[in-house]
Amino acid sequence: KGIGFGAPLHSKGDDVNLFGEVLPEDLHKFGLIPEFIGRLPVVTTVTPLDQVALMEILTKPKNALVRQYQRMFELDGVVLDFEQDALEAIADLAVLRQTGARGLRSIMEEVLGPIMFDVPSSDDIAQVIVTRAAVLENAAPTIVPHKAIRQEKSA
């Protein structure tokens, strides 16, 4: 075994499955008291979520975050749409920050927070489109006024 600059490098990913091998004796050696360990009938581990899993969490469940925000905007008569690239960027940010599914809400708040305050006070907004730039570069989401939609329908 080498130490310092000569030590072999190990990826963090190698240790992810190691926790799946934990036994009650290991917990005792770690410093937990036997009375506490006895109250843990099952020792289980969780693995970090990848981008695909986070995308499903964002969009698939009945109470998915995307649907929640779309409903909030709908209450003000505004359609909220997300480009596929934007959803992927949100999931990528959660992976990068290592915040998992709970981190998705904070990212959505960062992206939609400013526009959520503008929508109720403006009667001209028909649609808000969240783009990749809105997620990664703090650009404002695309706002489509009622006039633009009326012109498209009449053309």
Yes or no: say if 101 and 57 are a contact pair by the CB < 8 Å rule: yes
- pLDDT, one tens digit per residue, over 12-45 is 555 656 777 888 888 899 999 999 989 988 878 7
Alpha carbon of 36 to those of 27, 31, 41: distances in Å? Answer: 10, 10, 10
Rounded Cα distance between 3 and 109, Å, is 44
- pLDDT, one tens digit per residue, over 104-149 is 999 999 999 999 998 988 889 999 999 999 999 999 999 999 876 6
Please, what are the domains in the chain? 9-47 (no CATH), 51-154 (1.10.8.60)
Would you state the torsion angle of the CA atoms of residues 107, 112, 114, 120, taken in this order, to the nearest 10 degrees?
A: -150
Which of residues 52 and 1 earns the better pLDDT score? 52
DSSP state of 108: H
Model pTM?
0.75
